Amino acid sequence: MKFFVAAFIAVLLCLILVPAARADLDLFAWSEYVPQEVIDGFTKETGIKVHYETYSSNEEMLSKLLGGGGNYDLIQPSEYTVEALIQRKKLAAIDWSKVPNIKNIGPDYLHMGFDPQQQYSVPWMTGTVGIVVNTDKVKDPIRGFDDVFQPKFKNRIVVVDDNREIVSWALGAAGIPINDITKPNLEKVKPTLAAWVSLIKVYNSDSPKTPLINGDCDLGIVWSGEAALCCQQDHKFQYVVPAVGAHQFVDSLCIPDSATHKEEAMKFLNYILRPEVSKLISDKFPYTNPNLEARKLLSKEQLENPASYPKTGSLEIFHSIGKANALVDRMMAGLRSGQ
């Protein structure tokens, strides 16, 4: 009897003294997009450790997620990829009672075409893909994509490493809607793309600002947050939203249907929507912040950065193009290999 009592006491002491194991959170997101301070603050407050794995394109993320290459609790797709994942029933609906800070997101960034019922996504940052000009080196007026892709600028251009983006620029320049991606339309813009590709020096989606700041390139077509960092560093950099063919992107956080830790994921969603936390994201990665309460905490200089908050009218967003993605990738692979 004494043995059983002693054993019971030992088990009880273990339960009392050993802290309960906390679930980890697996985040699969764009590189250079989630500040370490945000991750550390969330872990300090909740005890939930965040494993942050990165990707460089929506297509890379989709391939790994759908191919079973990883089990993730949160992903960070762009608008057309959110739409595709909803269509394939690969996202879990968010319980908004557990994410009350969604109230801080401006109404213009909710119920958008890719998630009209606002069931599956929390806006992270939005922005444009525009042109950065080193005005010390480039004296020509640059207003659109055609102005960038001139033979005299050969090997002076950096662009994001994103086939869908590059094709959309050529479609827009040709007066074709950027979401109207069909085989005949791709054939129409193929000669333009072939000429453009021959002029590009660097493809870089992770940090396209780097070759501009280092002086390796004088012109770039890059994410607006990267452009904003160029503008912050040196006023010689000018940001131009193309008059034709520009679009707005919206990057969101979503919970895959296969996520193991959905409750922890929703805690993270609510945490990053706090104004003071969202401000940290803007401080490090100065895209357009859809969190209107966080914007109130930004400085005058941040709000006047021409790349972070450019003066544009309403812009289109990308929509899911399904199997046409394969047509885009096949054509661009051939052009980029010189075929």
The string of pLDDT tens digits covering residues 299-330 is: 999 999 999 999 998 899 999 999 999 999 99
C-alpha closest to that of 121 among 96, 138, 142: 96
Handedness of CA 231, 237, 242, 246 (dihedral sign): negative
pLDDT-above-90 percentage for the chain? 90
Domains of the chain (ranges plus CATH)? 19-126+250-303 (3.40.190.10), 127-248+314-336 (3.40.190.10)
Helix H or strand E segment including 7: helix 2-17
For range 250-269, the mean pLDDT: 98
What's residue 120's pLDDT? Answer: 98
- For residue range 149-203, list pLDDT tens digits in order: 999 999 999 999 999 999 999 999 999 999 999 999 999 999 999 999 999 999 9
Chain position carrying tokens 């000009």: 133
Question: What is the average pLDDT value for the chain, to the nearest integer?
Answer: 93
Please count the residues of the chain.
Answer: 339
DSSP class of 239: E
Looking at the predicted structure, is the pLDDT value of residue 65 above 50? yes
What's residue 22's pLDDT? Answer: 59
What are residue 13's phi and psi, to 5 degrees?
A: -65, -40
pLDDT higher for 21 or 224? 224
Looking at the predicted structure, is the pLDDT value of residue 246 above 90? yes
What's residue 5's pLDDT? Answer: 45
Asked if residue 253 lies in contact with residue 163, where contact means CB atoms within 8 angstroms, the answer is no
Report the C-alpha gap between 244 and 241 in whole angstroms.
9
Chain position carrying tokens 């051939």: 334
pLDDT band for position 339 (50/70/90)?
low
